[in-house]
Chain A
Amino acid sequence: MREIILKAENISKQYRLGQVGTGTLSHDLNRWWHRIRGKEDPYLRIGDTNDRSKKGNSDYVWALQDINFEIEKGEVLGIIGKNGAGKSTLLKILSKVTAPTTGSIKSRGRIASLLEVGTGFNGEMTGRENIFLNGAILGMTKKEINSKLDEIIEFSGCERYIDTPVKRYSSGMTVRLAFAVAAFLDPEILVVDEVLAVGDAEFQKKAIGKMQDISRGEGRTVLFVSHNMAAVKNLCTRGVVLDNGRIVFNGDIDEAISTYLINEKSDEILINPNTYHGENCMILNTRIVNEVDLITNAMDLILGTTFVGSINKSYSITIPVFRESTLSFVATSFYKDEKINCPGEYYIECIIPKYLLNPGFHTIDISIVDETGNFEQLLYVKEALSFNVIDDNFRRGNKYNKGWGGAVSPVLEINLRKNKINHDK
């Protein structure tokens, strides 16, 4: 049976930009003057949508506008969006840290929020004392904490230090202890911000596992905010995508993730219509030929461009591929000794095989070199294309989702063979 445990109705939140200081008193007085005459708040109307990259006309912005959603009991809702889309503001409103400007949230369960681990930790107090203090801040009673104390200490893995002041802890240990307290919270609704991005690999695994237990095993309702799409995919059953303070998608988590990733393309250039001129030559119509919205590492990626040369020369094309601003590799026509013999117009294609690119943000440059002379560079196009490569790990059936280091991540053959050891010998 469906049971709505939390309902948000017309939530909006307005913020004032710039220095809050001079003018505050005059605005307050003006507001008050409007209110006693029974008029609308004069500053509520003039807000712009919250697009951080554009210059607006007023000092007020809407960080959230007309947010409506419902959560059913036992659902794990992922809230995703770019930086500044309003995710944190929404979480703050849900956890009662700040009030919405308009609208209301109705809830049928206790909400505990985990916007940060270790809120209120006091360095002078011991680990044990801090467990009680932090637990109480998060809404547990002393009795509840007492009954879970052993489990918390064990989960944190800080048993040896538990009676030492927290200021002597390493930062990793503090985080472990803090997460351990939070993990044993017992609310009907748990609101979690990106707290998983802390601790070492072992602890992250433990933390994600615990989150899964909470949502799946114990049937708790969870609201989860993260930039880690793999973690979101792993944990959530439904997704809400925020963009500039509005809900742009609300539904199935896979669709939500692709909506977000398409939305995210603000700095993606999949088709570059610009023409770049060099010495007697030009590059135009650079684009990704694959007709897809999402680029994953599971597809053979085809880059295409057009080159026009006007004088009698032969050229070579070289394409440096950058991943997160670091050079990954260089694709070049030198290898095959294929020359562009001009005058004439050439369409050039470069195929990047699947599972070569390491997921992440990529940019490509194009360089044109004079083959006839002494390899003089005639044209260099910086960031001709930029695109995000999404990890397709889940299609390979691999549960590991933290990503691998390295410039590229080719799928290489690894052979395993179990050795038969004869112990009797």
Chain B
Amino acid sequence: MNNYADKTNEWLFEITPKNRFFALNFKEIWQYRDLLFLFVKRDIITVYKQTVLGPLWYLIQPLFTSITFTIIFNNVAGIKTGSIPPFLFNLGSIMVWNYFTSCLTGTSDTFKSNAAIFGKVYFPRIITPLSIVISNLIKFGIQFGIFVIFYIFYFFNGAKLTLNGSLFFFPVLIVIMGVLGLGLGMLISSMVTKYRDLNNLVGFGIQLLMYVSAVMYPMELIKEKLPKFGWIVQYNPLAYVIETSRYMLLDIGSISILGLIYTIVVTLVVFFVGLLVFNRTEKSFIDTV
């Protein structure tokens, strides 16, 4: 009987109405690491199953967008990109921007699009947005490859291209971009379960955001041409990431340490708020979705 009495106090886990204020169970996520890996695999392989071009589709979109941007913004509107070929300028920006938007759009309807699975079986919900961020990273890697190819191509065709030491910090920048997309996505996905309106907002919000994120123009340019509205770009953490990525990859523009610190702080705040809201939502979203 002693044995029995002892055991009554050791519960493996408890199901309660609310999560603790901040609960991220790393042990549990680690237990489900195989699921994370399998979700990533599913995302990657199901995209190009039964297509002729397969993974090439990952390249077609940024290439054609870059060509369009080059024609419209550089040739027609006459935005100058210095010594850098405009196409390479656009390709670099778009690739980084795409990583952010694909993370954001992918994670922002986590609850809604996975309601069927989430309604039937439990696993740490955060696995799903994490898998989206990781599979997009692989997609980003493929796009980065094509960027490198074009870089070498332009280099041997006489374009003046230089590198600087900050290139080593490029992966950090990508992590920041991913975390920001994930944080914002988790925040939105949690709110979408109750207020569907947000879903509509995300689609065109991203489009508008692109114009104030220094994707198709150097950050300097907006300050010069629109001094009154330049602050919008300056307070946009995404603009710093894009601008800095061009500094790292193409050695143009500027790097602002203050701007980067600001970006990192915003990223962390967004991520933790997103995580907090996500945690609170995952317990009972199925009743409202």
Interface residues of A (CB under 8 A from B): 1-4, 15-16, 20, 24-25, 28, 92-110, 113, 115-116, 119-120, 122, 124-125, 129, 132-133, 136-142, 165
Contacts and interface: CB of A to CB of B under 8 A. Distances in A.
16 contacts: A2-B4, A3-B4, A20-B288, A95-B122, A98-B283, A98-B287, A99-B17, A104-B15, A104-B17, A108-B11, A108-B12, A110-B12, A115-B120, A119-B116, A125-B42, A137-B123
Interface stretch (B30-38, B74-82, B203-211, B251-259): B30-38
B157 interface: no
Given A97-B286, A107-B11, A124 B34 contact: no
Contacts of B169: none
B34 A98 contact: no
B25 to A, nearest CB: 12
Given A3-B7, A119-B117, A137-B117, A109 B284 contact: no
A133 B4 contact: no
Nearest to A1: B4
Contacts of A106: 11, 13-15
A20 B194 CA distance: 8
Given A108-B11, A125-B46, A137-B117, A132 B38 contact: yes
Given A100-B15, A104-B15, A115-B120, A4 B8 contact: yes
B129 to A, nearest CB: 16
Contacts, number: 112
B17 A102 contact: yes
B16 A124 contact: no
Given A3-B7, A108-B7, A95 B42 contact: no
B172 interface: no
The 6 closest A-B pairs by CB, nearest first: A96-B122, A99-B283, A136-B35, A105-B15, A142-B34, A106-B11
Nearest to A110: B12
Given A98-B287, A133-B42, A109 B195 contact: no
Given A15-B287, A99-B284, A125-B42, A113 B13 contact: no
A125 B35 CA distance: 15
B149 interface: no
B42 A109 contact: no
A121 to B, nearest CB: 10
B122 A108 contact: no
Nearest to A8: B15
B283 to A, nearest CB: 4
Contacts of B11: 106-108
A50 to B, nearest CB: 14
Contact of A138 (B13, B15, B121): B121
Contact of B16 (A95, A104, A122, A132): A104
A44 B7 CA distance: 34
A109 B12 contact: yes
Contacts of B121: 95, 97, 113, 115, 119-120, 137-138
Contacts of B195: 24-25
Nearest to B193: A20
Indicate the member of A2, A115, A136 with the most B CB atoms within 10 Å: A136
Interface in B107-125: 116-123
Contacts of B12: 107-110
B83 to A, nearest CB: 46
Contacts of B34: 136, 140-142
B178 to A, nearest CB: 23
A21 to B, nearest CB: 8
Contact of A97 (B10, B46, B118): B118
B46 A100 contact: no
B122 A122 contact: no
Given A110-B12, A133-B38, A24 B4 contact: no
B16 A97 contact: no
B160 interface: no
B16 A99 contact: yes
A98 B284 contact: yes
A258 B275 CA distance: 49
Contact of A136 (B14, B38, B49, B287): B38
B3 interface: yes
Given A96-B122, A136-B34, A124 B46 contact: yes
Nearest to B116: A119
A265 B118 CA distance: 35
Interface string B80-121: 000000000000000000000000000000000000111111
Given A20-B194, A28-B194, 11 more contacts: A3-B7, A4-B8, A15-B287, A24-B194, A25-B195, A96-B15, A98-B283, A110-B12, A125-B42, A129-B41, A142-B38
Contacts of B31: 141
B45 interface: yes
B171 to A, nearest CB: 27
A267 B16 CA distance: 37
A93 B39 CA distance: 25
A99 B14 contact: no
A140 B38 CA distance: 12
B7 A107 contact: no
B84 to A, nearest CB: 40
Given A24-B195, A120-B117, A125-B42, A137 B15 contact: no
B146 to A, nearest CB: 25
B43 to A, nearest CB: 10
Contacts of A103: 17
A132 B18 CA distance: 31
A107 B194 contact: no
B122 A97 contact: yes
B3 A1 contact: yes
A106 B8 CA distance: 10
Contacts of A107: 11-15
B200 interface: no
